[in-house]
Structure 1
Amino acid sequence: MSISANASKYDPWLAYLTQVERVTPYLGKSIQPYVNTLKVAKRALIVDLPIVMDDGSIRHFEGYRVQHNLSRGPGKGGIRYHPDVDLKEVMALSAWMTIKTAALNLPFGGAKGGISVDPTELSARELERLTRRFTSEIGPLIGPQVDIPAPDVGTNPQIMGWMMETYSSIKGHTVTGVVTGKPLHLGGSLGRVRATGRGVFITGVEVAKNIQLAIKDCKVAIQGFGNVGSEAAYLFEEAGAKVVAVQDHTGTIFNENGIEVVELQKYVHHNKGVKGFPKAQEISNENFWTLQMDILIPAALEGQITAERAQNLTAKLILEGANGPTHPEADDVCLERGITIVPDVICNAGGVTVSYFEWVQDMSSYFWSEAEINERLDKLMINAIADVWQKSTDQDCSLRTAAYILACERILKARQERGIFPG
């Protein structure tokens, strides 16, 4: 069984709406009339993408760009290339971006895009044609002051480079700020690739202090070993923790004495997955969820932690490196069992934070060192998780609800103060 967003019949949009319903009673009366603006997407575009394949045939792909809410600034959100991409998923991801940017107090709204495609089945030339066609179709909706895409599952800096060049060609001049996550020599930012995993580590360490969980010798299990999972694994190992299990689309590996992360990174780079790693044993994917662990990092796709899996978890702390990995019902189970969850909208916000830094650098054409970026990122993430922890304590609620309270207050206050046009 591979990691799949649809394996557990998870409805990400319904999960998001459930989270909004749960936070509504905590919001002030003056902004509650605006809550329904969070339950709809401002704008959604579905595009047909006919592509000439290398063999001369023509295939049609379906693409999406959704802008959920722009009350606090331009839309911000990644582009996902994955077979499971559909409108509901993209709507939910765009909504989570609205919450995420507000929870971090970044001057953005929420957006997301994607194409229903397995990028590994396309040649580089086919992938470039698909990307350029998609960019031209969504071009009227994006721009550095309108909506700024970035990489996500199945996309990378090269794809962002193609998007930037296509958009710039249409505009007639170079527009570096139309996307983030670009190659460095096209206006990308140092620290961007590793930022999401770094944010997972930083927020995890801060919350671990609050629940008296010592990182040294902690057993860490990670689902997903891409940019996010591998960087988080590396940083936790550096801090003295043991990464005992890793699961990805090829299978699950386990070593109770700890998996050497750098060796696994090199192995995955050459073998495209963790399966067969010689210094760990292979176990079934479902057994991953019952292993002895202190920290669980779901860093793959949404909908992975079901209520049943949550009932069997031994983890004390869950760090949501992926977007929407936990079912609402599983949230309840974890709360009852005393398992602390650092929610996705804070935990994995390191990527969008450094995307913000990249956007600012592109606007000024002045670039910072990686040390400066990491220092700014760490400070912002530490302050954000401290605010969420304090709100959770004040309101006697979960960290997820606390993050949503902070974010929704900021979004709806902006909506209230901007007013509704026409009145």
Structure 2
Amino acid sequence: MTTPPVSPSAAPTAPLISLTWTDHVTGRQGHLVVDRLVRGVASGGLRMRAGCTLDEVTGLARVMTMKEALHFDADDTDARCIPLGGAKGGIDCDPCDPEAYGILVRYLRAVRPYIENVWTMGEDLGLTQDLVDRAAAEAGLISTVQAVYPLLDDETAARRRLADAFAVEVDGIGLDELVGGCGVAESALAALDRAGVPYREATASVQGLGTMGGATARFLARAGLKVVAVADIKGTIANPAGLDVEALLAARDGYGTVDRRALRDADRELPAEAWLAQDAEILVPAAVSYTIDATNQTRIRSRWIVEAANMPVLPEAEALLAARGITVLPDVVVNSGTNAWWWWTLFGDIGADADEAFGRTRRSMRSLIDLMLARAEADDCTPRAAAHAIVADRLPVMAERFGWYR
């Protein structure tokens, strides 16, 4: 398989803005990268994890540019939601560290001018939206998405719509936590459908039971798949007959760690990396980046790897997996549902309604997966290369229509 190059005219070779902040209290560092501006604004979340680097944030910002382009339909003239550029923030700190919240507040104060003017952001790995919103208010910000307000037809109505959407719960879990997992699950279901695999004959193993992994496990289980393994920070929980996903979700703490007292007699506790080697058609890395490398990929027996996390499969591992006939559905498509939902809601393409959100997410993700896999077949390349080629087609159209800065 070949990897088509991205046209130099399609994306800048370097980010427009790249900065590193050092906390004067603890010495810890945070980063902000704006890869590209569209209509003067860029979108992307803020993550917090020990070891977060500028290179990591730079790569994630470029992925955000791609996600925005993938959800841009130049022919949909009725859509109110028009794409933005890509950005990302990252703080090198364990979110469980007692100093973490203070560092978060000081970081937001330091980058406040960017949030006010060009960077719209929300939660990412290690942070919840409630925590980000609380810290943002303490840092003197009106909202973490206030940079986009000048682009709205009715700012008051849009802010109310988004607030109402974040208040929606489905079976005790917030809609904002569920839409991303809905998109990941729909990506997996689309792959199963194209291969003619019935859902009730398919199994899945999920790494991470936090916001994205937990929601993905729920939607896969409700579609009829057996979720045979889930992994959290304590290890892997497995049951070849299928786990009780709802019971595990109910037994999570705020970091996605399952209380082992909720396990059934047939559920087994296994080592941390055991989720990789399960007999499961679908493997979902939904926790941290750089999880699957050239060494541990040899343990994988799944048919599809569905990247719910950002950058979980290293390039050399992906090449080896492809040679073994294992298909990686890339993060740039698979986990883009949450970002898209934010903007569909804020711009008024959908209302603050769960059924409307899930319906739009499913249609959009299925369309993207089908387009990507058809392109991969036509070009004899990997799905990731196909997604990059689609972005390369769309970015020049966006640049011509909206420009980089205006």
Q: Quick one: distance in 1 between partners of 2:34 and 2:255?
A: 37
Q: Quick one: distance in 2 between partners of 1:179 and 1:248?
A: 35
What SS class does the counterpart of residue 34 from structure 1 fall into? coil
Matched, 1:317 2:304: yes
Matched, 1:131 2:87: no
Summarize the alignment of residues 328-407 of structure 1 with structure 2, pairs less than 5 Å apart: 328-361=315-348, 367-407=351-391
Q: Deviations over 1:185-233 (max 9, x none)?
A: 8565443221111000111111111122222131211111101111111
Matched, 1:229 2:209: no
Matched, 1:23 2:13: no
Q: Which residue of 2 aligns with 1:178?
A: 146
Q: 1:281 to 1:391 in 2, by over 3 A?
A: same
Q: 1:185 to 1:240 in 2, by over 3 A?
A: closer
Q: Quick one: distance in 2 between partners of 1:228 and 1:179?
A: 26
Q: 1:283 to 1:119 in 2, by over 3 A?
A: same
Q: Deviations over 1:154-195 (max 9, x none)?
A: 11122232355356x46xxx4573289x99985654432211
Q: Which residue of 1 aligns with 2:278?
A: 291
Among 134, 154, 160, the alignment partner of 1:162 is 134
What SS class does the counterpart of residue 357 from structure 2 fall into? helix
Q: Which residue of 2 aligns with 1:121?
A: 97
What SS class does the counterpart of residue 63 from structure 1 fall into? strand
TM-score (norm 2): 0.83
Q: Quick one: distance in 1 between partners of 2:227 and 2:18?
A: 40
Among 89, 96, 101, the alignment partner of 2:56 is 89
Contact 1:251 1:274 in 2 (8 A): no
Matched, 1:201 2:185: yes
CA offset at residue 393 of structure 1?
A: 2.4
Summarize the alignment of residues 407-418 of structure 1 with structure 2, pairs less than 5 Å apart: 407-415=391-399
CA offset at residue 378 of structure 1?
A: 1.9
CA offset at residue 402 of structure 1?
A: 0.8
For these two proteins, the number of residue pairs brought into alignment is 375
Q: Deviations over 1:352-402 (max 9, x none)?
A: 1112124325xx9x9432222222222222222222122222212221111
Q: Deviations over 1:104-145 (max 9, x none)?
A: 22602111102111221227xx61x433322221112123x6
CA offset at residue 268 of structure 1?
A: 2.0
Contact 2:217 2:227 in 1 (8 A): yes
Contact 2:251 2:258 in 1 (8 A): yes
Q: Quick one: distance in 1 between partners of 2:402 and 2:162?
A: 38
Q: Deviations over 1:23-65 (max 9, x none)?
A: 31xx6xxxx3436x44321111212233xxxxxxx43332111
CA offset at residue 415 of structure 1?
A: 4.3
What SS class does the counterpart of residue 244 from structure 1 fall into? strand
Q: Quick one: distance in 1 between partners of 2:55 and 2:300?
A: 28
Q: 1:163 to 1:102 in 2, by over 3 A?
A: farther
Q: 1:231 to 1:416 in 2, by over 3 A?
A: same
Q: Quick one: distance in 2 between partners of 1:294 and 1:101?
A: 29
Matched, 1:257 2:241: yes
Q: 1:416 to 1:356 in 2, by over 3 A?
A: closer
CA offset at residue 71 of structure 1?
A: 4.5
Q: Quick one: distance in 2 between partners of 1:224 and 1:336?
A: 27
Q: Quick one: distance in 1 between partners of 2:332 and 2:15?
A: 18
Matched, 1:99 2:66: yes
Q: Quick one: distance in 2 between partners of 1:240 and 1:410?
A: 35
Q: Which runs of 5+ in 2 are unaligned?
A: 73-81, 149-158, 169-174
Q: 1:77 to 1:418 in 2, by over 3 A?
A: closer
Q: Quick one: distance in 2 between partners of 1:185 and 1:201?
A: 23
Q: Quick one: distance in 1 between partners of 2:144 and 2:270?
A: 45
Contact 2:277 2:299 in 1 (8 A): yes
CA offset at residue 416 of structure 1?
A: 6.4
Q: Which residue of 1 aligns with 2:202?
A: 218
Q: Which residue of 1 aligns with 2:151?
A: none
Q: Which residue of 1 aligns with 2:79?
A: none
CA offset at residue 346 of structure 1?
A: 0.8
Contact 1:104 1:346 in 2 (8 A): no
Matched, 1:76 2:22: no
Percent identity over the alignment? 26
CA offset at residue 417 of structure 1?
A: 7.0
Q: Which runs of 5+ in 1 are unaligned?
A: 1-20, 51-57
Matched, 1:153 2:153: no
CA offset at residue 335 of structure 1?
A: 1.6
Q: Quick one: distance in 2 between partners of 1:165 and 1:419?
A: 32
What SS class does the counterpart of residue 31 from structure 2 fall into? strand
What SS class does the counterpart of residue 296 from structure 1 fall into? strand
Moved more, 256-265 or 68-77: 68-77
Instruction: Give, as a single letter, the amino acid of the residue that structure 1 aligns with 2:9.
Output: Y
Instruction: Give, as a single letter, the amino acid of the residue that structure 2 aligns with 1:41.
Output: P
Q: 1:409 to 1:249 in 2, by over 3 A?
A: same
Q: 1:272 to 1:237 in 2, by over 3 A?
A: closer
CA offset at residue 315 of structure 1?
A: 0.5
> Over the residues paired in the alignment, what is the CA RMSD in angstroms?
2.9
